[in-house]
Amino acid sequence: MKFTSPIVLFVVLILFGSVHCLHAQVARFFDGGPSGTGTDYNTAVHWTGDDLPDTSGVGGERSFVNRLGVRLSSVVAGAAHDALIGIGAGGAGSLTLDSGASLSIANALSIGFNAEGFLIMNDGFLSSDGIGVGSYADQGFAGTLTMNGGVIDTRIIQSTQDEAVFNFSGGMMNVVGLNFNAGGSPDGTTVNWDLSSGTTTVINLSGGLFMVRDADFNFDVSGLGVGDYTLVHNNGSGIVDHTGSVSFANLGSGLSASVNSSGNGSGDDLVLSIFTVPEPSSMALLGLAGIALILRRGRMV
């Protein structure tokens, strides 16, 4: 799979520098409460200082999830977090959004800030100015974003210097732009796209760029029949640009697949196409028919 496009100055990526920008702000960590075993993100005593991360919108503080198994299934009250939230900081961390969850971040969300980090969207709603996946300074920490359901609204999603993994199987992502493997690291980015249920994550691209540099795309297409399946809906004038490898798992007998963009500019969607491969006997018959036609024309000369 290969997409070509003009060289584009992706201004949004420059603006996204805030995702991994460090400021001298107060930091709050998820400590699990007095027992150290609490997992609810929206419980004050589960954070250092027994107070929820600041959502006043004035100054704010950096908040870090440095434990595995943290979950959210309710609405985080107040204004949006004004400072960065990091998942995986000072220790591996994970945050899972379930039904009823709602989290707004006026600044950025970093998955794999300076340790391994995981964001799992099962349901609910998450909004953020930007989402960075993978550590910001070539530190070797992986970030994983898994979309099983729910909705993410953000300006840009970007994997940067180190290994990043995206798992797409459901839900919706509304973004201005996506930039996979922006740092060009040899570790690269892996995108696992699961269409085995007949549906997958819907990505709506609004006016930006879907850019992939040396990423590995893996598609599970078990159960899918012949047809076109749109992966990225381009609602603006963005461009799809890709280099890397593509693999297809569980293709039906006699089927083949490809992933293509429909062109550059407005309406430039990313589409998975599944089509039939002619049987060898059919190809042979077509060949014989062609020879017969040539002979017939030869007799008519």
Mean per-residue pLDDT, 192-210: 86
Q: For residue 82, which amino acid is it?
A: D
Confidence of residue 235 (pLDDT cuts 50, 70, 90): confident
Give yes or no for residue 297 having a pLDDT over 60: no
Mean per-residue pLDDT, 269-295: 63
Query: What's the N-to-C CA distance of the chain in angstroms?
Result: 44
DSSP 16-65: GGGGG---S--EEEB--TTTT---BTT-GGGBGGGSPPP-SSSS--EEEE
pLDDT tens-place string over residues 77-124? 776 777 788 999 888 999 999 999 999 988 889 998 888 999 999 999
Q: Return the pLDDT at 294.
A: 43
Lowest mean pLDDT among 8-12, 37-41, 90-94, 189-193: 8-12
Confidence of residue 194 (pLDDT cuts 50, 70, 90): very high
Residue pair 161/141 in contact by the 8 Å Cβ criterion: no
Q: Which residue has the higher pLDDT, 19 or 197?
A: 197
Task: Please provide residue 132's backbone torsions phi and psi, each rounded to the nearest 5 degrees.
Answer: -105, 135
pLDDT tens-place string over residues 131-178? 999 865 555 678 999 999 999 999 999 886 557 899 999 999 999 888
List, in order, residues 6 or more apart from 92 with CB less than 8 Å away: 66, 68, 115, 116, 117
Give yes or no for residue 285 having a pLDDT over 80: no
Q: Where are the domains of the chain?
A: 11-300
